[in-house]
Structure 1
Amino acid sequence: MTTKVVPGMLIAVPDGIAVAREAASRLAKLILDALDAQGQASVALSGGGTPGPAYALLREDARIDWSKVDVFFVDERAVPPDSPRSNFRMVQEALLDHVSIPPDRIHRMRGEAADRGAAAREYASQIRARVRHAETGIPEFDVAVYGVGDDGHTASLFPGEPSVDVTDRLVIDVPSAAKREARLSITVPLIEHTRAALIVAVGKGKQEALERIWSTSGDVHHTPGRVLRGVRGSITWVIDKAAGGLG
């Protein structure tokens, strides 16, 4: 029998609408806590359909002073920023276009760059310049939103690929595979040094992946989402009951 241990706090709600509301509320509190503690905050956001509704609700929270928030991205596809598949475009339309955030605090990954290796190094430099560092020298996002794919991936760290083993870089160029575009993605050291991780998952398609992530044993190469178990800060999972196999 497989033993499961959910790292951090698990919040299971009835459906995707409730996930969006709960995630937006939790995300707002985490950002406000960081602003209260140090007067500014660094936030890394994921794309995809699951967190989008939460970002749309987050923009309605008037308590957040976005002029003091740096927004980064967890990953990005190799598409222009105006592409319907762009994570940046989704976050921009759901959140950034609706809050008073200075342009120099929005840090977009240049997924469309011809030289994605150079774009990855450039993005790592931005992170090092704007995000406070741990004693280890690794930058620590105050808040980060992560998703989980049906195949068990998180960020753009995919099963069976060497990206999960990269520890000497903060951002990498992830090659294309099959029908999947190339990507840019943050790496395991940045994920592990997150000060507050909010992980969202919706739908029965996520159940098996979450089971593998929560199992006390397993191969990170088979299920890269298991790296989320290593987050050193707080971990909050906001899922619907279908994703948790609860109904």
Structure 2
Amino acid sequence: MENKIYKDKKMVAEAFSDYFADLVEDKVQFHVALSGGSTPKLIFDVLATKYGNQIDWSKINFYWGDERCVPPIDDQSNFKMTFEHLFSKINVPKENIHRVLGENDPQGEAMRYANLLEINLDRVNSIPQFDLVLLGMGDDGHTASIFPHEIDLWHSEDHCVVTLHPESGQKRVSINGKVINQAKEVVFLVTGSGKAEKVEEIHNQKEDYKKYPASLVIPESGKLIWFMDEEAAALI
């Protein structure tokens, strides 16, 4: 695990954008699973502004690690946020954007998306392998859309699972832990003081830290990087 700590959320976005541009520069094809949230929104803005004309977007295929079961025009849609802050500002082929169809039946969509990953990605030990998976972490320690109360879904045999938000009951489609940990590289994007307690528990392996799905992110490649601001990293 490697920690990269920056003064604030905007500097995290700048640093990760530079990192991403370097990472994809010499790749012929690149498959990335995106995350929702306020930090990725900033990152997408920076990527579009700073690298919109520098990165060859035609070689990058975009997926999502999780998506809310809402239509793509809904304000809660991770796809809508990404479209508004990145795709609408860059020259990326439509066929490179592989969204979760949040408007469809969740169970059927989880199966469809798992099949899409199997077709599009190389497989290692029968598990689809992303080049990069981006993750956030909630104040409760959840990541992707696997929450502590459904942590068993992390180990599901299905590559994609249907999850329930513990408070709203909203259904979501999420990749499972096996897919996350099979990625060539995994990056956490974590900012804000509300994350500091869980960051500290997970990093210092305190008490029942394994009850948090974010603690189970241990890529087999050994390539795990936490991009954090000073507020999120304040207790480590």
Match of 1:237 among 212, 226, 232: 226
Cα shift at 1:221: 5.8
TM-score by length of 1: 0.88
Aligned to 1:211: 200
Identity %: 32
CA-to-aligned-CA distance 1:1-25 (integer Å, 9 cap, x gap): xxxxxx2x21111111111111111
CA-to-aligned-CA distance 1:140-186 (integer Å, 9 cap, x gap): 11012110111000000101214444331111111353324110000
Indicate if the aligned counterparts of 1:50 and 1:200 stay in contact, CA closer than 8 A: yes
- Output the CA distance in 2 between the equivalents of 1:176 and 1:12: 29
Aligned to 1:83: 74
- Output the CA distance in 2 between the equivalents of 1:151 and 1:164: 16
Indicate if the aligned counterparts of 2:5 and 2:230 stay in contact, CA closer than 8 A: yes
CA-to-aligned-CA distance 1:204-247 (integer Å, 9 cap, x gap): 10011111221336556621101223453411111011101169
Indicate if the aligned counterparts of 1:210 and 1:243 stay in contact, CA closer than 8 A: yes
Match of 1:15 among 4, 8, 27: 8
Q: Report 1:142-221 matches (<5 A).
A: 142-216=131-205, 219=208
- Output the CA distance in 2 between the equivalents of 1:189 and 1:17: 31
Matched positions, count: 234
SS of residue paired to 1:184 = strand
Change (3 A) 1:30 1:164: farther
Q: Which runs of 5+ in 1 are unaligned?
A: 1-6
| Partner amino acid, structure 2, of 1:158 | F
Indicate if the aligned counterparts of 1:148 and 1:201 stay in contact, CA closer than 8 A: yes
| Partner amino acid, structure 2, of 1:130 | N
Indicate if the aligned counterparts of 1:156 and 1:184 stay in contact, CA closer than 8 A: yes
TM-score by length of 2: 0.92
Match of 1:123 among 113, 119, 131: 113
- Output the CA distance in 2 between the equivalents of 1:176 and 1:17: 28
Aligned to 2:25: 32
- Output the CA distance in 2 between the equivalents of 1:182 and 1:74: 14
SS of residue paired to 2:70 = coil
Indicate if the aligned counterparts of 2:142 and 2:212 stay in contact, CA closer than 8 A: yes
2:129 maps to 1:140:
yes
- Output the CA distance in 2 between the equivalents of 1:246 and 1:222: 19
Indicate if the aligned counterparts of 2:72 and 2:80 stay in contact, CA closer than 8 A: yes
